[in-house]
Amino acid sequence: MPVLLYSMRGGLVHLTDWYHGDLEWRVVGLGPGRTTCGHIPPNGVGACHTGCDLRVRHTWCARPDCAICYRYRIEISRTVRRITERHEAYWKCATMRVGRVFERSAHIVVSPPQEWALERLKTLGGIRYMRERMYSILRESGFDGGSIVFHPWRVRAWARAAYHESGYDGGVWDWLRDEGLLAPALGAIKFAPHYHVLGWGRLTVSDDFHRDSGGWIYKRPSDSLDPDSLGSVAAYLMTHRGVLVGGGGRIQMISQVGCVGARSLKKEETFIMDGAKCDVCDEPVYVVDGWVEGEGPDGPGGKTVPEVERIGIDGVPVGLTITTHPYARWQRVCVYHIRGMPGCLAIFGGRSDDD
C-alpha cells in the first residue's frame, strides 16, 4: 500500500503533496479528529427500568475533515439530510403551488475550461469568482435552483480501471481511501475542478451552452431523482468533496441556491426537549450510571461495554444502575414555505442530529 507523506507545519499535520498554489486541499475525512469524537458524554447512556432498551449517545464534532466522524458517516448523514429535506420541502411546496405533481430534481455535472479553472483554484478569490461565474452561467441557461457541490479532483483512468478489476464492494472513492491512494502525488487522482448540481431547470442544449458560456460544458447523469435516489447521489458526492484547510477565509463547498436557497424557501426550525420512551415497552427511559467506556467492536466510544453486557438475569443491564433522572431527547420540528406563499407548507420532524 502506498505511504502518504506527512510533515509538521504551523503546528498542524499536512499532506506535503496536497498544495495547489498557496492553498491546501484535502479529501473529506482525512484530517485529524478531536479526542472527544465518538465518546460517550455524561448522561449519555439511558435505559428503561426493565432493561429491554438501552440508548447510547455519542459526541461528534461533525467537521468535514475529521477522520473519526467520517468513519461513522456523521457529517455525511447530516449534510445529506439537509440537502434531501430542502429538496423534498420545495417539491411539496411547488406541488401545492401548481396544483399538480411537480417534477423532481435532476443531477448534472458542470465543468469549466480546465486550464482557466486550475488558475482560479490557487486563491480564495479565484475560487469564489469561479463559483459565481458558474452560477451566473447556469441561471442564464435556465437553471431555477438547487444544491451545488464542488469537487476539486477526478479519478484517473488507470485507477478507475483498477477499481473495476478489484471487485470492490463500494464506490471508487472508498476504494481509493482503503488503498491509500488519495494523495494527488500518487497519481490516482488529479486536480480537475467541477461542480455537481442537484436541482431544477431546463438548460439550453449542451452545444449552445458550451458556446455561450465560453467553454463550459455539462452532462446530465440523471433526469429525475426520487427521494431515495437523491439521498444516494448526495451521499456519494459527500465521500470525496474537497476540504480547504487554512487560507485565511471560508469557501462554501456546498451551496443551496435559487428555489431551495434561504431567500426563496424559508425555514423555521424548533427544538423541543422531552423524555425518551422505550421502543419495546413504551416505558420512560432513564439515565444509567456505572458504565465504563472502552474499546468496542466499532472503535473507541462505539459499541461499548453497556451494549456488550447489556442484559442481566433479572433483565437489568449488568453492573449498571438505572437512575430516576429522565433521559432527555431532543425533537426537531421544521416548517418550510416558499416566501410570499405561506399557504404552501412542508413539515418535517424527528429526533435531532445530536440525539
Tell me what pLDDT residue 193 has. 93
301 confidence band (pLDDT: 50, 70, 90): very low
Residues 347, 228, 338, 273, CA torsion sign: positive
Using pLDDT thresholds of 50, 70 and 90, give the confidence band for residue 314. very low
**What integer pLDDT is reported at residue 45 of this predicted model?**
79
Task: Report helix, strand and coil shares of the chain as percent, to nearest 5.
Answer: 30, 35, 40
Q: How confident is the model at residue 248 (pLDDT cuts 50, 70, 90)?
A: low
At 297 the pLDDT is 36
The chain-wide mean pLDDT, for the chain, equals 79
What does R_g of the chain's alpha carbons equal in angstroms?
23
Within 8 A by CB and 6+ apart from 107, the residues are 196, 197, 198, 220, 221, 222, 225, 233
Look up residue 278 and give its amino acid.
C
Take residue 236 and report the three cell numbers written for it.
456519494
pLDDT at 288: 78
Quick one: angle between helices 74-98 and 227-238, nearest 10?
A: 140
Q: Sorting pLDDT into bands at 50, 70 and 90, what band is 16?
A: very low
Highest-pLDDT range among 53-57, 205-209, 329-333:
205-209
Whole-model pTM over 0.85: no
| Phi/psi at 143 (5° precision) | -80, 130
Percentage of residues of the chain with pLDDT beyond 70: 81
Q: What is the pLDDT of residues 156-202, one digit of tens each?
A: 999 999 999 999 988 899 999 999 898 777 889 988 999 999 999 98
- Predicted confidence at residue 173, as pLDDT, reads 92
- The pLDDT tens digits of the residues spanning 34-75 come to 777 877 777 777 877 776 777 777 788 888 888 888 888 888
Give pLDDT, residue 290: 62
pLDDT reported for residue 64 = 86
What is the structure's pLDDT at 163?
96
Domain boundaries, the chain: 45-57+275-326, 103-261
